[in-house]
Structure 1
Amino acid sequence: MEILIKASQFILSLSLLIVLHELGHFIPAKLFKTRVEKFYLFFDYKFSIFKKKIGETVYGIGWIPLGGYVKISGMIDESMDTEQMKQPAQPWEFRSKPAWQRLIIMLGGVFVNFILGIFIYIMLMWSYGEEYLPNENLNNGVWVQDSLAMNLGLQTGDKILTVDDEKIKKFSGLTLEFINGNKFQIERNGEVIDKNIPTDFISQLMDRGKDAGPILFPRYPFTVGKISDDSQNKNSDLKAKDIITSIDGTPLKYYDEAEQILSNYKNTKVKATVLRGKETKEISLNINNEGKLGVVFTTIPFSDLEKLGYYQLADYQYSFTEAIPAGWNKSWKTLTDYVKQLKKIFNPSTGAYKGLGGFISIGSIFPDEWSAESFWNITAFLSIMLGFMNLLPIPALDGGHVVFTLWEMITGKKPGDKFLEYAQVVGFVLLIILLLFANGNDIFRLFK
């Protein structure tokens, strides 16, 4: 059932983005009186799931969910209709239109993707606002228990100040900042220290596996998740959800402090203070010869940590006019973060290519239960990602056509049809290779 919910959201989001992207080409083409022969969601090699001709255009749904297209008369595109190109150019064909009109037609899909992403982020800011744990509010630093964080030279209690000289706004964004960054700065015991992020950090991150969890945590209180069946405290007054705040009079603010404190009381019974709901209780606890209590630790939500006075959360609610710059800023950060990651993918030494994923990876980022906020957040991200990818100067993508059109506008020389045909084939082959590699990565990770 969870897979079905994820898949349904993925298909809905993908379909919406494809249709609107192609509409971005379709509308200016019609405005410039260019004939559009087909408007398709997904590809229709050999046959279509659905098709209907309205006017001069056939609208349909293909069976290969790898994208979509509009077939514009007189244009070298996915259809590779070379026979049409052998005929004399007609006034309604793409190739007969002025270069500036062709440029607008080709940029239309990318324009729609960027505008859609910005619009969704603005509406999300207006509807839901933002709530997060500011990184600067971790007054006693982070909790380090992951080996990768240790390899970065981090210790529990470190305050992470900047990555690439940029101040970190949200604690939840720290891992992404490390992925995109090259250096960082911390404060440890009042001393500011500069450190480098290893070139292969992304490779190390991928090798941990998708279920490894974050590399950094806020520092949590010692909250009891459950008492083990073989625990020496099974019959004590300790309860699940109790927060242990002191051991034998020694204050215990954070769970990461417990090991050192408990090691001083091996094989003894001690008085402990616990917070149970709003009530503070004194109970007796047995500590075994390993300095353990025999309980399982659990985390608690940030909202509960705020109530307990551990952290101050940021909660911003925006009016519509305030949501516009907030949505724009989020769109810009989404784009710049994506560009940084893409640059690292093309540098083999980073190992970022291991993280390249296809349909399984994209589908997996959707939640396993419906959430309108999550769905539209992911759709906005995918829209901006799709817009940027289509701008890449690769033949067969919009960016490739844009480059050839700009060349014509600058030099006054139009690339020949044969050159465009060959370029389209080369671009298409490159995209197929990229598609196979990305989806092959997905399959490899599934078996791994």
Structure 2
Amino acid sequence: MTDTDAAPAVFTGPPKAPGGTNRRAWTVTALLVVFMMINFADKSVLGLAADEIREDLGLSASAFGLASSAFFLLFSVSGAAVGLLADRIRPKWLLLAMAVLWSVAQAPMAAGGGLAVLITSRVLLGAAEGPAFPVAQQATLSWFPNHRRNLPGALIVLGITLGVLVAAPVLTWVIQHHGWRSAVAAVALAGLVWALLWLLLGGEGPYAGAPAGSGDGTGAAAGTGSGAPLRRMPYRRILATRTWIGATAAYFGTYWIIAFALVWLPSYLQDALGYTSAGSTRLVMLVWGLGGVVVLGQAGLTGWLLRRGTSSRWARGGVGGVLLLIGAAACLTLPAAPAGAMTALLLVAGFGLAGAMSSIAVTTVTELVPADRRGGSLGIMNAVVTTAGLIAPTLIGRLVDGHGAEGYRYAVLITGVVLLLSGAAALTLIDPARDARRLSV
């Protein structure tokens, strides 16, 4: 590894943005939004083609849930490992490698094979995609100071929503007319096209070496302005802060919802609630569409609160916690609601409001930790959070096999409890200013 490949480890003063940086910042952000779109199109294929795959391969609900959870077998481990690596190797090259590996991992599944090929392909895909979100956020936020990070951070999360919104109708059409393996091939090709564009246009910004806090020289790890090297802060101190724990617990609830929605929501709508395939697709798009609106709305509200002097404890932790609690109330009410419009409303609210915590958790941790510990801190957070993707699909599959359509009811109630605990964690534990002071001692 050469010096030019290494990520900055120390802060040497406020970064000075070169001319044209603002335009480049938004170009890189746009590319990374597309990156996350492809990432979640990859993830959504199995959920959109669940019935076709189960029929084609002769799978029970439990076996399909296991195959879906296999995606997350190495997802968390690779997320933590590459997150730590991102503190030493430029995110540009890590992101390029991920995109290429996505496409390679999906080639066997697109070509043919049975359950073994499906599981192996998903395990490899999960390993390649595990670090995607934290490293994409790290690269994006390196172009912006702290007070301007809410919008670009939210746009990366919006890429998740847009990926599903685009994938739902497009991949459903491909699946119906050309088969589910063709849909897998399509998203693999999209990954290769993105990799070429990123190689030409991607990179990191002038705030890659800025310390925790405002992004301009203040915060827990800020130096004296003399350019003297700073002692690296141990990860154990960061991971022991109430803010990191609270953000991680809150984000876990969001990822539980994501895993449920990606793998089982279409089947839940059709098998338990009686929607047609077309009706199910429309409702899935509505859920993810609301999620996108909420993410952008949260970014605007949080930015407004921060500019008015509201602490991050309330501007970030408070907003995210309240949204999770509303989602929890909707999920806990949903199983007892009468069929029809009320069911659809509660489902959209329960599954659509929780997504904002993805952005909030990242910007909160980025605010708290020094620059040379951001990649690892975000990667480890993502590793813990994405265990929800390992647990939820398998658990729901077993509930469905054991209780039929009633199993979905139990799954929604469990989801409500998870969101309730996550929202409480956000409200009671997140306080970056308090923990930054403690880290600076």
Question: What TM bracket, shorter-length normalisation?
Answer: under 0.3
> Normalising by structure 2, what TM-score?
0.25
**Structure showing greater relative contact order (alpha-carbon pairs closer than 8 Å, 6 or more residues apart):** 2
> Normalising by structure 1, what TM-score?
0.25
Compare CA radii of gyration and give the structure with the larger one: 1
Q: Which has the higher helix share?
A: 2
